Amino acid sequence: MRFDRGACLPPALGIATVAAMLTSGCVSSPSIAVLGAYFPDWLFCIVAGVVLTIVVYMILKRLHADHAIGPSALVYPTLVAFLSFAVWLVMFR
């Protein structure tokens, strides 16, 4: 079987072009320098989401309103995700 160097199938060339365009957004990852080391932004957002969820939990516990929310195993992880996304939008938009 002989392969020509210049011959390329048009569909394969189109797929390669689309793949290159889709991955071009991954060139620079958002990161923060902390003491000389670079950490991704999402890491700080998750930590902030967990801390804010703990604060919400403590407020609800102090107000004796923690029994009024739904199942804790569903509510608190959802609250962590919501607050993490909110921190991302506010700080790193």
Using alpha carbons, select from 92, 60, 93 the residue that is nearest to residue 76: 60
Give domain limits for the chain. 30-92
How high does pLDDT run on average in the chain?
82
The residue that leads in pLDDT, 21 or 4, is: 21
The residue that leads in pLDDT, 80 or 25, is: 80
Output the six-digit token pair for 87.
Answer: 């921190």
pLDDT, tens digit, 9 for 90 and up, residues 45-70 = 999 999 999 999 999 999 999 888 88
Mean pLDDT computed over 71-90: 94
Q: What percent of the chain has pLDDT over 90?
A: 39
Q: What percent of the chain has pLDDT over 70?
A: 80
CB 73 within 8 A of CB 63: no
